[in-house]
Amino acid sequence: MAVAFVAVAALCSCSRAAVPSPPSEAPRSLPVSVGNPPLTGTLTLPARPGRYPAVVLVSGSGPNDQDETVGADKPFLDIADGLAVHGIASIRYDKRTKDHPGSIDLATFTPTEEYVPDAVAAIHLLQHRSDIDPSRIFVLGHSQGGTFAPAIARTDPAVAGVILLAASTESLGSALVRQLTYLATLPGATGQQARATLPEAEQAAQQIDNPRLSITDRSTWPTSPLLGGASAAYFLDLRNYDPVATARAIPQPLLILQGGRDYQVTVADDLSVWEHGLAGRPGVTVHVYPDDDHLFIAGSGPSSPADYQTPGHVDPHVIADIARWINSR
How far apart, in whole angstroms, are the C-alpha atoms of residue 286 and residue 247?
14
- 262 labelled catalytic: yes
- 103 labelled catalytic: no
- 142 labelled catalytic: no
Q: Exactly one of 142, 287, 294, 313 is catalytic; which is it? A: 294
What Rg do the C-alpha atoms of the chain give, in angstroms?
A: 19
Instruction: State the SS3 of the chain.
Output: CCCEEEECCCCCCCCCCCCCCCCCCCCEEEEEEECCCCEEEEEEECCCCCCEEEEEEECCCCCCCCCCCECCECHHHHHHHHHHHCCCEEEEECCHHHHCHHHCCCCCCCHHHHHHHHHHHHHHHHHCCCCEEEEEEEEEEECHHHHCHHHHHHHCCCCCEEEEECCCCCCHHHHHHHHHHHHCCCCHHHHHHHHHHHHHHHHHHHHHCCCCCCCCCHHHCCCCCCHHHCCHHHHHHHHHCCHHHHHHHCCCCEEEEEECCCCCCCHHHHHHHHHHHCCCCCCEEEEEECCECCCCCECCCCCCHHHHHCCCCCCHHHHHHHHHHHHCC
Q: Exactly one of 59, 61, 90, 143 is catalytic; which is it? A: 143
How far apart, in whole angstroms, are the C-alpha atoms of residue 190 and residue 207?
25
**Burial grade of 284 (CB within 10 A; 0-12, 13-18, 19 or more):** buried
How far apart, in whole angstroms, are the C-alpha atoms of residue 94 and residue 317?
26
Q: Exactly one of 73, 81, 262, 293 is catalytic; which is it? A: 262
Residue whose C-alpha is closest to residue 77's, from 324, 309, 312: 312
Q: Which residues are catalytic?
A: 143, 262, 294
